[in-house]
Structure 1
Amino acid sequence: MSSSVALLVGLVVGVVGGVVVASLVLRPRRLELERAAPSDGAAPEAVLSRRLLDLIDPAVVLLDADDVVLLANPAARSLGIVRDTRLLVPELLELARTVRDGGRRRAEVSLSGSVVRGGPRQVGVLGVRLERGSGPAPGPVALVLQDVTEARRVEAVRRDFVANVGHELKTPVGALSLLAEAVEDAADDPETVRRFASRMTHEADRLARLVRELIDLSRLQGGEPLPELVPVGVDTVIAEAVDRTKLAATAKHIAIVSGGERGLVVRGVESQLATAVTNLLANAVAYSPERTRIAVGARARAGFAEITVTDSGIGIPREDRSRVFERFYRVDQSRATRTGGTGLGLAIVKHVATNHGGSVTVWSEEGLGSTFTLRIPLADAPPTPPGDAPVEHDLAGGPSAGNATEGRS
């Protein structure tokens, strides 16, 4: 635990101790904090301690020598680990017995979703044996539980991110090293040198793109404050994104067709929105066959501007659709290697949408293509929660991205 958490836990234990000492005098056996109001004759310290215990976030449970719950604050009961005078989690009961025998203990316990409310939880637990007076006999045991689920999730994401970054950087760096050696060995063969130099340029571009997108993702995730949101024309964003993607599309003889409502205005950061739409178009170009068409358009819907990008590409397998907005996730690793993809483009789109109070979703069928929809609140309408969007149909004829929860890489 951090020093701030340790300080909080120390305060909680002190409060519990004060409550216990006063309560053992005022009441013979059981205390249920949220059910019984302090008696008029209760000591002021006990009343204040119990009120403080009511307000703190950590769950606090007090057990007697028979594992009967003497006290449970509202946080403990709302967590669902206590029912009447019983503690429902065997691991916590075992920890209490260990504490009773050996004094203070710290542990981390997984709480099953079948017991606690709101799904599985990971909690850090501090168990303290409270003595009665100066006698040697152990008194009640206090358990203080701090939810660390989100902290552990963030740690896991950070570990995965570092591992993925290392793997992604090794590929172009290793390729550049090998190509440099090959160029040196082929110094007397101009044609071979030109071929290897071309490959070196490709790998250098891939490395530069990866570094650039890592920086962009870091900024979007809170590394820098979000710039002020100003009115931005959707037509301008789409035109900029089409212009950025035109060269790659022309190389594959792919036509990019714009349409939809004109004149829509959203509140946002123009450069970020242009990057998001560019990433969607670049993704569509990379995964579409040659001599096909990509449609990009916009419309107003339920207070949002919906920017859709529809392709006739390979589509996304059902088992991959829920993960394609994750960083570094790719449906087809070999194809991504050939196209030079970094696996960060759709993650950037997701964070741009989130930072603007919107969302990005997708409809897709294997062999038929995909439609991505970026939803950004309109400048002249209050935003509504993305989950409240009605069921719609997109340009490809499938369920609208406004109602979908799946994605593509």
Structure 2
Amino acid sequence: MLRHQETRTLLVIMCLITVCVTVLGAFVSFHAMVLVFISCVLLIGSAVFFTSWRYRDIEKLSNYLRQISAGDYTLDVRDNRESELSILKNNIYKVTSMLSEQSALLQKDKSKLTDAISDISHQLKTPLTSMMVMTDLLSDDELPTAKRNEFTHNLRIQIERIEWLVSSLLKLSKIDAGTVQFKKDRVKVEKLIQKALEPVLIPMDIKDQSISIKGEDNVAFTGDLNWTVEAIINILKNCVEHTPENGEITISFSENTLYTEIIITDSGKGIAKQDRPYIFKRFYKGKNANADSIGIGLAIAYSIIKSQNGDIEVQSKEGEGTRFLIKFYKQVI
């Protein structure tokens, strides 16, 4: 306590006051002098005691802050008494709680990043290994022309797969980081569906699949057309891949006072019960997934829809097809 300049200055001033009032008391009477001296000593003692008590509390807070800086957020210094020091303790506790939450979030993000890097490495390993093998085979001058063309075609497929994977991961990382600025335009669902169908019309034609669209022209929602098209494309691709030849895909949409709903239904093989809770998890592949599936398309669709005040759920039974229900709410729920 005496290390602090303000404390030493206060004690010196109080001692000087004691001397002065004691001398003045002596001019009155001896008893007055003694009474004044004892009163001053008691006041000085009380001041020293309470100052010492307050500095002990401050020292405890200093130790507490040192522990916080070392990463220990378990201590609780909250104080329900009415004083400035108690308010300081409570404010420090609030800041500590915020730091603890931020530390937990950072740790969670670090874990997610580690898992993402592991998943990306795993996804890239297979096509890269295949490309290395085919490159070695292509270096053989005696390789037949038919095989050379086959390997070249396979290389192109693997490169396109890697390009799509990297592009998808970049989109996901932007959404996760919150750097994507989603527009808030009035989007007509009919236009949205037409744009989303364009990339899948050829695969549907190859498999002789039919498409049925039901909905009124004026159905709309507030969102970003291009990003939502991306989400719907990924859902439609999933439906096309899992629907057999001569199958049917149905799209219906409607609007009410609470939300705009889009329902996409296929007549495919459905999703196994144990896979349904995880189909929107990135890199997850169910037991009915295609061999070439990466498991990222539905994760992109989920992130885009959720980022626009929307919701998506799946209803499915094995052998009876799958239904995706998408809702864009008009108010924040």
Q: Give the TM-score of the pair, scaled to structure 2.
A: 0.72
Distance 1:312 1:207, change over 3 A: same
Q: How does 1:85-234 map to 2 (within 5 A)?
A: 148-185=103-140, 187-222=142-177, 224-234=179-189
Q: How does 1:245-324 map to 2 (within 5 A)?
A: 245-324=200-279
1:52 to 63, 66, 88: 88
Residue 18 of structure 1 corresponds to which residue in structure 2?
58
Distance 1:199 1:56, change over 3 A: same
Conserved? CA contact 2:138–2:151, under 8 Å: yes
> 1:20 offset after TM fit, Å?
6.1
Query: What is the distance in 2 between the residues matched to 1:147 and 1:210?
Result: 31
Query: What is the distance in 1 between the residues matched to 2:78 and 2:184?
Result: 50
Q: Which runs of 4 or more aligned residues in structure 1 lie more than 6 Å from their structure 2 counterparts after TM superposition?
A: none
Residue 388 of structure 1 corresponds to which residue in structure 2?
none
Amino acid in structure 2 at the alignment position of 1:49: L
Distance 1:331 1:186, change over 3 A: farther
Conserved? CA contact 1:253–1:290, under 8 Å: yes
Partner SS for 1:336: coil
Query: What is the distance in 2 between the residues matched to 1:268 and 1:157?
Result: 28
Cα distance per residue 1:215-235 (max 9 Å; x no partner) = 111222235241432111111
Larger Rg computed on CA atoms: 2
> 1:304 offset after TM fit, Å?
1.5
Distance 1:199 1:166, change over 3 A: same
Residue 117 of structure 1 corresponds to which residue in structure 2?
none
Query: What is the distance in 2 between the residues matched to 1:322 and 1:203?
Result: 30
> 1:17 offset after TM fit, Å?
3.2
> 1:59 offset after TM fit, Å?
8.6
Partner SS for 2:155: helix
Distance 1:262 1:223, change over 3 A: same
Cα distance per residue 1:209-251 (max 9 Å; x no partner) = 1111111112222352414321111111100111111111112
Query: What is the distance in 2 between the residues matched to 1:15 and 1:359?
Result: 55
Residue 108 of structure 1 corresponds to which residue in structure 2?
none
Distance 1:241 1:225, change over 3 A: closer
Residue 79 of structure 2 corresponds to which residue in structure 1?
33
> 1:191 offset after TM fit, Å?
1.2
Unaligned runs of 5+ in 2: 1-53, 62-76
Conserved? CA contact 1:310–1:370, under 8 Å: yes
Conserved? CA contact 2:183–2:223, under 8 Å: yes
Amino acid in structure 2 at the alignment position of 1:351: S
Cα distance per residue 1:25-55 (max 9 Å; x no partner) = xxxxxx9823xx43xxxxxxxx222113224
Percent identity over paired residues: 23
Amino acid in structure 2 at the alignment position of 1:372: F
Residue 369 of structure 1 corresponds to which residue in structure 2?
321
Whether 1:357 and 2:309 are equivalent positions in the alignment is yes
Partner SS for 2:278: coil
Conserved? CA contact 1:186–1:192, under 8 Å: no
Distance 1:368 1:182, change over 3 A: same
Query: What is the distance in 1 between the residues matched to 2:138 and 2:114?
Result: 36
Query: What is the distance in 2 between the residues matched to 1:345 and 1:16?
Result: 60
Larger proportion of strand: 1
Conserved? CA contact 1:298–1:307, under 8 Å: yes
Cα distance per residue 1:180-231 (max 9 Å; x no partner) = 2222326541111122222122212211111111111122223524143211
> 1:165 offset after TM fit, Å?
0.4
Conserved? CA contact 1:187–1:193, under 8 Å: no
Amino acid in structure 2 at the alignment position of 1:50: S
Amino acid in structure 1 at the alignment position of 2:331: P
> 1:164 offset after TM fit, Å?
0.2
Query: What is the distance in 1 between the residues matched to 2:60 and 2:163?
Result: 63
1:346 to 255, 279, 298: 298
Query: What is the distance in 2 between the residues matched to 1:15 and 1:167?
Result: 58
Query: What is the distance in 2 between the residues matched to 1:288 and 1:16?
Result: 74
Query: What is the distance in 1 between the residues matched to 2:108 and 2:206?
Result: 42
Query: What is the distance in 1 between the residues matched to 2:55 and 2:141?
Result: 77
Unaligned runs of 5+ in 1: 1-13, 22-30, 39-46, 61-74, 76-122, 125-144, 386-409
Partner SS for 1:185: coil
Conserved? CA contact 2:78–2:89, under 8 Å: no
Amino acid in structure 2 at the alignment position of 1:283: N
Query: What is the distance in 2 between the residues matched to 1:187 and 1:15?
Result: 88
